[in-house]
């Protein structure tokens, strides 16, 4: 049985005033939850389940939201869910748990209907207008993960229907051009450089480009290498570009041969190596003990885990 949580008693700490209320040191979180500090740190570093605030001296401070996340993790573990699977469930719960979610889903659906109408009319100016409106209303992860990519996937599945292939080609070409444009707008003076590489025959170009956009950040520039990039030439590219991390992307389940290839690649690189996309959700247990970080496929989770890995790598 999981330990019982006790009532929270907020404390203050000498940090930025905007973050100075309701913070808990790791020893207090351990006391309140019954989860020992070693496990809490592992949940942060290895799985990205919680992201505490760090003081200038490096001490962890946890918010009430962090402790609520610990509660949710404990709940999933009590139901028999493996800890390697909890992060994805937690991310989905966070993105779908608000009381306004039914309204948001309906709102997203209305935008999707309008986009499908524009596609069926092959009306690219209208498609462009809708694209601009959606981006003005929602964060980038919602635009792609909740609105645009579900349409793209549905059209891809429906290509047996007359006209659907033409609609998919229009939409695929439209989105690739606009995602590439946004990637070109990344800050050139970002403190971290990340290479994003597709595993051979494991994804389509748009999926790779969208992953690059979702992983981009104000202090992180993501360089997306062309689909077809030979993995055995990555050490050469890394020697020239000197990235802090290489992220491999795959949208399909990895076989044993792929996993062995990843392990060999990790040994040949001087920087961090990570795996993102649907493949990483199923490969986490198989890669346990390896120096390969599984980022998952959900935007918030991928960014949390990548940020954590970059932070840890800077210490090494």
CA distance 147 to 112: 6
Greatest Cα pair distance, the chain, in angstroms, is 64
We report the CATH number of the domain holding residue 280 as: 3.40.50.280
164 and 211: one domain?
no
209 domain-assigned? yes
User: Is beta strand 24-25 parallel, antiparallel or unpaired with respect to 60-62?
Assistant: antiparallel
149 and 70: one domain?
no
105 and 202: one domain?
no
Among 81, 113, 135, the domain-final residue is 81
89 domain-assigned? no
User: Is beta strand 24-25 parallel, antiparallel or unpaired with respect to 220-224?
Assistant: unpaired
161 and 192: one domain?
no
What domain range is 39 assigned to?
17-81
Among 81, 110, 128, the domain-final residue is 81
140 and 220: one domain?
no
6 domain-assigned? no
- 0.85 exceeded by pTM: no
10 domain-assigned? no
pLDDT at position 255 = 85
CA distances from residue 14 to 31, 59, 65, 119 in whole angstroms, order as listed: 21, 11, 19, 55
106 and 177: one domain?
yes
303 domain-assigned? yes
92 domain-assigned? no
CA distance 68 to 88: 16
The answer to whether 268 and 279 have CB atoms below 8 angstroms apart is no
> Which of 129, 134, 159 has its CA nearest to residue 147?
134
> How many domains does the chain divide into?
3
We report the CATH number of the domain holding residue 110 as: 1.10.1240.10
Give, rounded to a whole angstrom, the gap between the first and last alpha carbons of the chain.
Answer: 37
148 and 256: one domain?
no
149 and 200: one domain?
no
We report the CATH number of the domain holding residue 33 as: 1.10.1660.10
Reading the chain (316 residues) residue by residue, the pLDDT tens digits are 445 444 444 433 333 433 345 688 998 888 877 788 888 988 888 888 888 888 888 889 988 888 888 878 887 776 666 777 777 777 766 554 443 445 455 688 889 999 999 999 999 999 999 999 998 888 898 899 989 999 999 999 888 889 999 999 999 999 999 999 999 999 888 889 999 999 998 999 999 999 999 999 888 999 999 999 999 999 999 999 999 999 999 988 888 888 888 888 998 999 999 999 988 877 767 776 678 888 988 888 899 889 888 988 887 7
At a CB cut-off of 8 Å and minimum separation 6, what does 122 contact? 166, 167, 170
169 and 268: one domain?
no
pLDDT at position 10 = 42
159 and 192: one domain?
no
Alpha helices for 191-298 (secondary structure H): 205-215, 234-241, 256-268, 278-283
148 and 132: one domain?
yes
Torsion, Cα 309 310 313 315, to 10 degrees, reads -110
66 and 152: one domain?
no
pLDDT at position 80 = 62
12 domain-assigned? no
């Amino acid at each position: 049985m999981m330990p019982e949580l006790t009532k929270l008693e907020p404390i203050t700490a000498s940090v930025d005033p905007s973050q100075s209320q309701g913070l808990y040191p790791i020893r207090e979180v351990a006391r309140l939850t019954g989860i020992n500090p070693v496990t809490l740190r592992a949940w942060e570093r290895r799985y990205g389940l919680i992201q505490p605030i760090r003081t200038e001296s490096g001490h962890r401070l946890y918010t009430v939201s962090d402790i609520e996340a610990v509660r949710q993790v404990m709940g999933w573990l009590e139901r028999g869910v493996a800890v390697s699977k909890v992060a994805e469930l937690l991310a989905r719960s966070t993105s779908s748990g608000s009381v306004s979610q039914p309204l948001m889903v309906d709102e997203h659906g209305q935008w999707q209907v309008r986009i499908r109408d524009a596609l069926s009319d092959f009306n690219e100016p209208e498609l462009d207008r809708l694209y601009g409106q959606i981006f003005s209303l929602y964060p980038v992860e919602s635009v792609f993960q909740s609105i645009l990519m579900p349409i793209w996937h549905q059209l891809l599945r429906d290509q047996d229907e007359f006209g659907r292939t033409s609609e998919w080609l229009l939409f695929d070409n439209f989105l690739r051009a606009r995602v590439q444009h946004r990637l070109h707008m990344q800050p050139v003076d970002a403190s971290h450089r990340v290479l994003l590489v597709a595993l051979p025959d494991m994804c389509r170009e748009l999926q790779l480009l969208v992953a690059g956009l979702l992983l981009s950040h104000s202090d992180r520039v993501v360089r997306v290498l062309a689909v077809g990039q030979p993995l055995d030439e990555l050490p050469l590219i890394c020697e020239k570009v000197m990235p802090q991390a290489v992220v491999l992307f795959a949208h399909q389940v990895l076989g044993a041969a792929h996993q062995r290839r990843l392990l060999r690649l990790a040994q040949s690189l001087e920087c961090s190596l990570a795996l993102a996309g649907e493949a990483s959700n199923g490969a986490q247990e198989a890669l346990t003990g390896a120096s390969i970080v599984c980022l998952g496929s959900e935007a918030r989770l991928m960014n949390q885990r990548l940020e954590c890995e970059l932070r840890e790598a800077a210490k090494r």
